[in-house]
Chain A
């Protein structure tokens, strides 16, 4: 079992995920580590979508400047930018379903080698709901998962097949974990990159899915 803290930390994973984004893209970032990706886009012209009805999401407000009418999809207070536009939820998911959003970066509970994704419920334990995740993975151009490689019990979250209820089937393109970067490919996952200080053997040992 690989050390839980081995490889990249949360910020390094977010930094690596930011490299996936191309100049001019409209992008949706999920809750958790994906939110941190916004800190690393650098000079690239990236417009962030918040699926509750906003393009051009800005940073958190300064204390005392919070606006109850301005929140992101994680219900956190945010700010607008000079490029911002607002719209209703049906329009928002029209642009998602219609393939206008270039990429979504999402967290996951489990990912399978065929690109199946599970991130919305644990039967009998955790019932929160899928929110916009099912629409996003079905509609956007590219789905990138950012998550810890293993759960708190040290079990692989990168599996031959998902055990939890699915968010989408065959939807994931790339997986970025603390141990490295993997692509969903013919017959299994392909190693794209190893995290700092992680060997290929360590990555393989920590992965239940087939690596081709």
Chain B
């Protein structure tokens, strides 16, 4: 079975439908599936629920899907730095389910690993715990959080071979592996598809079993906050 597709439109063909649940990799603008997001904008799929740590920035990343009002609900941990997000949320156009960052990552990982729920101490006694089962273990309270089972995963990696084995680069790995795991179908975009056998099997970060479709493309890789130091300080 061939996993490599010519472009993002082809890779998403037949996978998109209104009201679907998508898990997206990335942290801020780092390691986001830019090309697949653009293709979903183009496809015009509506009423999306998206599990992603952030929602891009105004006009870039998932922020593009906000501008076109294709998102109905976000499952995120942090939505600062995005004025349009705030506007849609405060006006009630957009539903927002806040998840502590580690809980969101674990919900994805758990869903991908066939675990429908897990208990965590994170959020006990806060708004996050409202309506959730509380259970005591070793004398301490934990809350029940549910695994995420998405219809589609969209992720970004650095390199892949044609069987979908992925290698990420530096902190661009972030949510991509757990997001890739929790979808029924996972589409990955990479900077380079390399020949089979050219990645040391010990150096593969995410095995190809989690990746169903694959594209190679050019990425803008925009930086959210450029911060530097002066050379004199060294």
Contacts and interface: CB of A to CB of B under 8 A. Distances in A.
Contacts of B93: none
B103 A135 contact: yes
Interface string A48-67: 00111110000111110111
A75 B28 contact: yes
Interface string B24-37: 00011111000000
Contact of B178 (A71, A90, A134, A168): A90
Contacts of A168: 124-126
B102 A166 contact: no
A88 B170 contact: no
A96 interface: yes
A62 B122 contact: no
A52 B123 contact: no
A35 to B, nearest CB: 10
Contacts of A67: 170
A80 B169 CA distance: 12
Interface in B118-142: 120-128
Contacts of B223: 66, 68, 71, 77
A32 interface: no
Contact of B101 (A69, A135, A165, A167): A135
A59 B231 CA distance: 12
A71 B127 contact: no
A70 B80 contact: no
Given A51-B101, A128-B78, A166 B170 contact: no
Contacts of A88: 105, 168, 173-178, 205
A113 to B, nearest CB: 16
A129 interface: yes
Contact of A50 (B31, B76, B127, B171): B171
Nearest to B169: A69
Main secondary structure of the interface of A (DSSP, over half): loop
Contacts of A87: 173
Contacts of B168: 86, 88
A107 interface: no
Nearest to A126: B80
B119 to A, nearest CB: 11
Interface of B: 27-31, 53, 76-81, 86, 89-90, 96, 98, 100-106, 108-109, 120-128, 158, 168-178, 205, 221-229, 231, 234
Interface of A: 50-54, 59-63, 65-72, 74-78, 80, 86-90, 92-94, 96-97, 127-135, 138-139, 165-170
30 contacts: A52-B171, A62-B228, A62-B229, A66-B227, A66-B228, A68-B30, A68-B223, A69-B172, A74-B225, A75-B30, A75-B225, A76-B227, A77-B223, A77-B228, A78-B227, A88-B168, A88-B175, A88-B176, A89-B105, A90-B109, A94-B102, A97-B120, A131-B78, A132-B100, A132-B101, A135-B103, A138-B122, A138-B124, A139-B102, A168-B124
